[in-house]
Amino acid sequence: MADKKAVRARMNELLAQGVGKTEVFRQLATTDIKPRVLAGWLAATPDMSARQAMSVHITILCGLMVAQALIVFMVLLSVSLFLALVIAMIPLLFAWGFLKPAAGAYSGYILLSIISIAQNAAKFRGIDTPTLIGLAIGIATICYVAWIQWRVFPDMTFTGPNRKSGEYVFKT
């Protein structure tokens, strides 16, 4: 069963049957797929019951992304219509990834937001109220996205599948 598509199909079949991720990993670890890749696939598979429970929060998050896209579009419209459209698509792509659900969308948003906040913090000349409000909103959004990610993808850390003592660990 060296074919990646066949291994993924078998993985999805076992998960659909209610087999725990730990057992799926054990069964499929004998294939030609590297354990790191297999663990990544399993960790990136959402917990659908948690996904259902978090659906309101995911909808709120997608609303925030649409609002962010509109703000970016309005601000950049004075510079260039093309630039405004291209840059405004970024939060919309994240919203699509949140709805899909794609684990990489959450990690990517967190990473890009941290980089953006760090770059903006380096430019701070003085501490004023609008700057502090913007910083607080940015940090709160990062925490909110991380909280949703940890609930929907419980086996995923920020950098990949959860590992303890060199072994991949799954909640189920």
State pLDDT tens for residues 107-133: 999 999 999 888 877 777 667 777 788
127 vs 32, higher pLDDT: 32
Q: Interior CA angle at 25 toward 20 and 30, to 5°?
A: 145
Decide if 149 contacts 106 (C-beta within 8 A): yes
* Rounded Cα gap, residues 144 and 41, in angstroms: 24
The identity of residue 140, as a single letter, is A
Q: Are strands 167-168 and 163-164 parallel, antiparallel or unpaired?
A: antiparallel
CA distance from start to end of the chain = 24
56: tokens are 């309101």
- pLDDT of 79-93, one tens digit each? 999 999 999 999 999
